[in-house]
């Protein structure tokens, strides 16, 4: 099935949300009809353990860490996905940003 839009979910520290919104909007995401900069977020608690060779933004190698993050969600036309992924990686502070790209059936 062909789809025209995807939903991005990005886990990120809250202090980076505004920069994320600006960057992904400029890359073509966060648009709905005659609106742009459309992004929502809500708090989540995350867990992770940096493994050998990691250079963690927060935490120590070998130790399970936990912290407060937010999940930012926004719409993106399929044609802009590659540019939006690049934008996320440019603004995100984590060595390995966690994000999900979910195909949408709505037009």
Run of H or E including 45 = strand 40-48
Q: Six-digit token pair at 82?
A: 């590659």
What pTM, to 2 d.p., does this model score?
A: 0.92
d(CA 75, CA 32): 7
Helix pair 17-26, 81-91: axis angle to 10 deg: 150
Strand order in the sheet with 98-104: 40-48, 65-77, 5-12, 98-104
pLDDT for 14-32, tens place per residue? 999 999 999 999 999 999 9
Q: Six-digit token pair at 14?
A: 């809250």
Q: Structural domains in the chain?
A: 5-104 (3.30.70.120)
pLDDT for 43-98, tens place per residue? 999 999 999 999 999 899 999 999 999 999 999 999 999 999 999 999 999 999 99
d(CA 60, CA 62): 6
Assign 12 a pLDDT band (cuts: 50, 70, 90). Answer: very high
Residues facing residue 12 across a β-bridge? 70
In the prediction, which pLDDT does 104 show?
A: 96
């Amino acid at each position: 099935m062909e789809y025209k839009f995807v939903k991005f979910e990005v886990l990120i520290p809250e202090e980076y949300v505004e920069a994320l919104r600006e960057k992904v909007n400029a890359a073509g995401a966060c648009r709905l009809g005659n609106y742009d900069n459309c992004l929502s977020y809500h708090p989540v608690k995350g867990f992770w353990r940096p493994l050998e060779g990691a250079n963690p933004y927060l935490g120590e190698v070998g130790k399970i860490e936990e912290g407060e993050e937010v999940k930012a969600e926004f719409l993106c036309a399929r044609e802009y996905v590659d540019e939006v992924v690049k934008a996320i990686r440019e603004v995100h502070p984590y060595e390995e940003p966690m994000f999900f790209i979910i195909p949408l059936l709505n037009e």
